Amino acid sequence: MRQHQFGRTSFTVGEIGFGGWQIGGAWGTVSEADGRAALEAALDAGVTFIDTADAYGDGRSEKIISSVLKGRGGERPMVATKAGRRLDPHKADGYTRANLEAFVDRSLSNLGVESLDLLQLHCPPTEVLYRPEVFGALDDLRRAGKIRNYGVSVEKVEEALKAIEYPDVVSVQIIYNIFRQRPADLFFKEAKRKDVAVIVRVPLASGLLSGRITRDTTFANDDHRQFNRHGEAFDVGETFAGVPLEVGLQAVEEVRKLVPEGASMAAFALRWILMNDAVTVVIPGARNAEQARANAAAADLAPLSDAVMTATREIYARLIAPHVHQRW
29 C-beta neighbours (distance < 10 Å), count:
10
Q: Is there a catalytic annotation at residue 150? A: no
Catalytic option among 56, 95, 150, 176 = 56
Alpha carbons 179 and 167: distance in angstroms, whole number: 30
| Dihedral in degrees, nearest 10, Cα atoms 260, 209, 275, 234 | 180
DSSP sequence for 173-229: EEE-BTTB-GGGTTHHHHHHHTT-EEEEE-TTTTTGGGT---TT----TTBHHHHTT
Alpha carbons 153 and 121: distance in angstroms, whole number: 6
Contact predicate 273/175, CB 8 Å: no
* Sheet hosting strand 150-153, strand order edge to edge: 18-19, 49-51, 78-83, 118-122, 150-153, 169-175, 197-201, 281-282
Task: Return the exposure string of 46-55: e unless at least 16 CB atoms fall within 10 Å of the residue's CB, then b.
Answer: ebbbbbbbbb
Q: What is the DSSP letter of 47?
A: -
**Do the strands 49-51 and 18-19 form a parallel or antiparallel pair, or are they unpaired?**
parallel
64 Cβ contact partners less than 8 Å away, ≥ 6 residues apart: 20, 23, 24, 32, 35, 36, 39
Q: What's the half-sphere exposure (Cβ side, CA atoms, 13 Å) at 172? A: 30
Element (H, E) at 129: none
Catalytic residues: 56
